[in-house]
Amino acid sequence: MIRYDFHMHCSFSGDSVTPPEEQIEEAIRLGAEGICFTDHMDYSYPMAKESGTDFEFDVDDYYRRMSELRDRYRGRLEILIGIEYGLRNEPDLIGEMQEKYGRLNDEYDLDFTIGSTHCLEYTDPFYAVPYWVGRTPDEGLETYFRAVAENAKNYDCYDSSGHYDYAVRYVPASDAWKGPACYDPVKYMDITDEFLKTLIHKGKALECNTAGIKYGLGTTHPHELVLKRYLELGGELLTIGSDGHKPEHIFYDFKTTEDYLKNIGFKYYTIYRRHKPEFIRL
Ligand SMILES: [Zn+2]
Ligand SMILES: [Zn+2]
């Protein structure tokens, strides 16, 4: 059984209202050994008006609260403290982001950080307008994958690269795109190879994120073929997270995911304490 969920959110994230205690109590109820909170920090989030949040939080307050919870629940559940960093590839933002996220890593004794690509071209592909306007699903996805590959290369502040192909969720339905079943990862494998080789070369982990199953994509992020390719290329560090924003979504489908990963050929998954990877047998 996978007893650690290494990607989840609580009310420190702009898109969650769940108090951290509720995630913790649910994890205990599920028989978990540990969880890592990875609340959203997306500096310069471009769609603040549309979303009603800027996806930033007070890290002092967060770190203090999480440390208290870690101490209070010691012996019942291991609580690890992480952040999900929103990485950006717009040339005029890279330096600023590297500096800001680097500073958070220096100032706080975090266990784990995820580097995710939520935004590109000063917008968020979650919103159909403007990102998907005037481009085919293929073009939109290819541009997104290139941004993820560039971010993997340009940043060092992250331990694991989050939800690789998550933009698939947001491709607007059309004649050319009837739904997530239209997604063929083989089409983008050149970019994906470059991305995976960067992770392996830099000693960074790939995340297996089960929210894809929750969103009805029929696959994790990334797709099974990407996970297979990672193994073929020699990738070893794999973190597993539900990306749950509420209690019913933490450890989402982890039982199925365990068998699925074993079938692909993974023997271990990875957890992090103070940014140090530790392998746990699947
Ligand atoms: Zn994310
Ligand atoms: Zn997340």
Return the ligand number nearest the Cα of 16. Answer: 2
C-alpha 84 to ligand 2 mean position (Å): 6
C-alpha 175 to ligand 2 mean position (Å): 30
Return the ligand number nearest the Cα of 13. Answer: 2
C-alpha 125 to ligand 1 mean position (Å): 12
Please report the sign of the dihedral spanned by the C-alpha atoms of residue 157, residue 163, residue 168, residue 172. negative
What is the C-alpha separation between 256 and 66, in angstroms, rounded? 30
Per the CB < 8 A criterion, the answer to whether 9 and 53 are in contact is: no
Return the ligand number nearest the Cα of 166. Answer: 1
pLDDT in tens, 84-100: 999 999 999 999 999 99
C-alpha 85 to ligand 2 mean position (Å): 9
Give the residue-averaged pLDDT of 220-248. Answer: 98
User: What does the pLDDT read at residue 216?
Assistant: 86
- Count of domains observed in the chain: 1
What is the C-alpha separation between 152 and 203, in angstroms, rounded? 11
Residue 199: domain span: 4-281
Cα 109 to its chain centre, rounded Å, is 20
- Which residues, at least 6 apart from 274, have a Cβ–Cβ distance to it below 8 Å? 109, 110, 111
C-alpha 16 to ligand 1 mean position (Å): 12
C-alpha 176 to ligand 1 mean position (Å): 26
C-alpha 39 to ligand 2 mean position (Å): 7
C-alpha 37 to ligand 1 mean position (Å): 12
Confidence of residue 218 (pLDDT cuts 50, 70, 90): confident
pTM over 0.75: yes
C-alpha 118 to ligand 1 mean position (Å): 6
- Identify the CATH number of the domain in which residue 84 sits: 3.20.20.140
Q: Give the Cβ contact number of residue 215 at 10 Å.
A: 16
pLDDT at 215 over 90: no
H-assigned helices in the chain: 20-29, 48-51, 59-72, 91-107, 137-154, 189-202, 211-214, 224-232, 254-264
C-alpha 50 to ligand 1 mean position (Å): 17
pLDDT in tens, 5-64: 999 999 999 999 999 999 999 999 999 999 999 999 999 999 999 999 999 999 999 999
What is the C-alpha separation between 121 and 205, in angstroms, rounded? 25
